[in-house]
Amino acid sequence: MAYTRKRPEPITKINVTPIIDVALVLVIILLVTAPMLSVSNLPVNLPQAHTREAEDQRNLSVTLSEDGRLAVDNHDVTMDKLAAAIAARLAEPGNKDLLVVVRADSGAPYATVHQLLDAARIAGAKRLAIATRQKMDGAL
């Protein structure tokens, strides 16, 4: 009985592994970036702090830039319509106890920040937090 070496058959099917790979990667990127999509892209230099709390995944962000521009999540608003905009978001189903995070620039005057906190309170916010940037020990 002679030994006959079988030649491997050529692969004739489409290799779907790279497609699945890329698709899963896109899913992961979307999952990671989803929370960021709801935050306004106004330029804000958050104040630094050591305290690390109030880190709910779901929150309503109110952004105040140094030049006074305002945004609720990623929608620009004016100070007059701020309370109504927050109230509308809190009135959505499941948002009753949503954490309202005030993302104010560290150079913004306190008077404006206090107006934001007041507007949030008038709109019915039960939980308030002031956003900070984590201070690293030894950092400038």
In the complex, the residues that contact other proteins under the rule CB under 8 A are 7, 21, 25, 28-29, 32-33, 35-36, 46-55, 101, 104-111, 113-114, 117-118, 121, 127-134
**Lookup result for tokens 């104010």:** 104
SS3 116: helix
Nearer to other proteins, 81 or 109 (CB): 109
Distance of CA 12 to the CA centre of its chain: 45
Nearer to other proteins, 63 or 85 (CB): 63
CB of 124 to other proteins, least distance (A): 10
CB of 89 to other proteins, least distance (A): 18
Give CA–CA dist 84/77, Å, rounded: 10
CB of 2 to other proteins, least distance (A): 16
Nearer to other proteins, 93 or 136 (CB): 136
Nearer to other proteins, 54 or 87 (CB): 54
CB of 93 to other proteins, least distance (A): 24
Contact 59, 99 (CB under 8 A): yes
Q: Which residues contact 131 (CB under 8 A, 6 or more apart)?
A: 46, 61, 101, 102, 103, 104
Structure tokens at 116: 């934001």
